[in-house]
Structure 1
Amino acid sequence: MKIISMIPARYRASRFPGKLMQDLGGKSVILRTYEATVNTKLFDDVIVVTDSDIIFNEIVNNGGKAVMSKKEHECGSDRIAEAVELMDIDIVINVQGDEPFTEKESLKKLIDVFKDDHNKEIDLASLMVHITDEDEINNPNTVKVITDKFNFALYFSRSPIPYPRDKNVGAKYFKHKGVYAFRKEAILDFYRLPMLPLEASEKIECIRYLEYGKRIKMVKTNVQGVEIDTPEDLERAKKLWK
């Protein structure tokens, strides 16, 4: 299988504009993410795909690979789909541009899902982390996921799921980490299919796959890292980096 990583990178993030160009230990957040992904040595290629000249130049001027998106997109998956449509690849892994603590172990688990899927029953795979902090469970910026007994995703939400009507049943909460591995056909399908009401309501792009009957295999990881969505997240990332 030919496996690449694409890092969608939008400069004008709604909650924290310009976050990918913020300094993290002497380098920009997006460059840290790119270098961390390359350093896993898991991929045939690693490419940043962006609508921003600033981000494009940041990567290319530091010896990396980047491509410009041809048009505006609703989400990172659309941006990637446009970029890979004519590429000869089997699997593409979407690493979010605000994940500078990307590491090898979790990404390898995603790749292994497809190596073991001989009948090609899995359309995409993604990561989840067990969480116990009530503030995080109730935080709408933290996307939660519930799965069936085989770890296929049933639903994603910004609300706490499952709802804790009975706290004595031992239900666990899992945070969805925004790292996806797609079969090429699956991400192209995503690009062509219109957004439906559940995705539009939650603003969680992987819900589109569920609404159209795709199968998402969730993989447990113990690596939390820091996703930089807010200035407060950036400060936490700086402390962790030190």
Structure 2
Amino acid sequence: MKVVGIIPARYNSSRFPGKPLADILGKPMVQHVFERVRASQVIDDVVVATDHEDIKQAVLDFGGRVVMTSEDHETGSDRIAEVVSKIEGDIFVNIQGDEPLIHTGTIDKIVETALENPESVVTAKTKLENMEDVQDPNIVKVIADRKDSAIYFSRSQIPYNRSKEAINYYKHLGIYSYPREVITQFVDLPQSPLERVEVLEQLRLLENGYSIKVIETSYDAVGVDVPEDIQKVENIMGVTQ
């Protein structure tokens, strides 16, 4: 089976226009993401999906592959689906273009799980260490069953610990592996009721009966949302490189 990593790189971020081109230690951010995905042992091809010529040229300059997509997509999933319609592949991994510290081992584990579960979407979770994060609606939580299939995603604290037992809470990480057929079907489905309430598009999959496997990782996403985040990322890279 051919596995393709796709990195959506939209230009017009409301809080940070041109974000994929932001310089991080002498390289555009999209290049850092691309190189970490390319280092995966199980990804056969890596593609940057963009809507802007400047990003396209930057990717070509560092030797990457790029596919131009519409400027009108509302979600990253829609952008992924357009790329899927244009290239060959069986499993497509959506890697956030604003996470230059993405852990290659986490990508590998997601793909390995996807190959073992070829009809399932696969995503990831990491343990939350403090209750402030558990209660933060900007941090999406996930619960899964004993077979590591997602039961629910929420901005709320789930589960609610009425019994006061010792329990782990998990943050959902925004990386997904899709079988070709599933991503193609997914973007044609109407928004679901729970998706509209929580503003979480993965709930559309659950509400329509799709399986989502959830792997656990120690990696915690460090994304770039605003220009001030660049320094934070550079400080971490200075320690790890």
TM-score (norm 2): 0.91
| In 2: Cα distance, 1:69 partner to 1:112 partner | 28
Q: Which position in structure 1 is the counterpart of 2:36?
A: 36
Q: Which position in structure 1 is the counterpart of 2:202?
A: 206
In structure 2, give the amino acid aligned to 1:137: V
Q: Which position in structure 1 is the counterpart of 2:129?
A: 132
Task: Indicate the SS of the match to 1:235.
Answer: helix
Quick one: structure 1 residues 104 and 110, their matched pair in 2 at CA, closer, same or farther if it must change by over 3 Å?
same
Question: Is the 1:9–1:51 contact (alpha carbons within 8 Å) kept by the matching residues of 2?
Answer: yes
Matched, 1:65 2:65: yes
| In 1: Cα distance, 2:179 partner to 2:89 partner | 9
| In 1: Cα distance, 2:52 partner to 2:157 partner | 35
In structure 2, give the amino acid aligned to 1:131: L
Quick one: structure 1 residues 107 and 136, their matched pair in 2 at CA, closer, same or farther if it must change by over 3 Å?
same
| Residues 175-227 of structure 1 deviation map (CA, whole Å, 9 limit, x = unaligned) | 11111111100000112111123223322221111121100000001112412
| In 2: Cα distance, 1:30 partner to 1:93 partner | 16
Task: Indicate the SS of the match to 2:197.
Answer: helix
Quick one: structure 1 residues 233 and 204, their matched pair in 2 at CA, closer, same or farther if it must change by over 3 Å?
farther
Question: Is the 1:162–1:171 contact (alpha carbons within 8 Å) kept by the matching residues of 2?
Answer: no
Quick one: structure 1 residues 218 and 68, their matched pair in 2 at CA, closer, same or farther if it must change by over 3 Å?
same
Task: Indicate the SS of the match to 1:169.
Answer: coil
Q: CA deviation at 1:232?
A: 4.6
Q: Which position in structure 1 is the counterpart of 2:113?
A: 113
Question: Is the 2:139–2:155 contact (alpha carbons within 8 Å) kept by the matching residues of 1?
Answer: yes
| Residues 36-67 of structure 1 deviation map (CA, whole Å, 9 limit, x = unaligned) | 11122432210000112222121112211111
| Mapping 1:70-149, distance limit 5 Å | 70-117=70-117, 120=118, 122-149=119-146
Matched, 1:215 2:201: no
| Residues 79-137 of structure 1 deviation map (CA, whole Å, 9 limit, x = unaligned) | 111111243311111111011112321111111113323xx4x4200011011122322
CA RMSD in angstroms comes to 1.8
Q: Which position in structure 2 is the counterpart of 1:50?
A: 50
| Residues 142-191 of structure 1 deviation map (CA, whole Å, 9 limit, x = unaligned) | 2111111221111112222223434x212211111111111100000112
Question: Is the 1:78–1:190 contact (alpha carbons within 8 Å) kept by the matching residues of 2?
Answer: no
Q: Which position in structure 2 is the counterpart of 1:194?
A: 190
Q: Which position in structure 1 is the counterpart of 2:2?
A: 2
Question: Is the 1:152–1:215 contact (alpha carbons within 8 Å) kept by the matching residues of 2?
Answer: yes
**Structure 2: any 5+ residue segments left out of the alignment?**
none
Matched, 1:179 2:175: yes
**Structure 1: any 5+ residue segments left out of the alignment?**
none
- The alignment covers a number of residue pairs equal to 238
TM-score (norm 1): 0.91
Task: Indicate the SS of the match to 2:122.
Answer: strand
Quick one: structure 1 residues 19 and 42, their matched pair in 2 at CA, closer, same or farther if it must change by over 3 Å?
same
| In 2: Cα distance, 1:180 partner to 1:155 partner | 15
Task: Indicate the SS of the match to 1:192.
Answer: coil
| In 2: Cα distance, 1:15 partner to 1:207 partner | 26
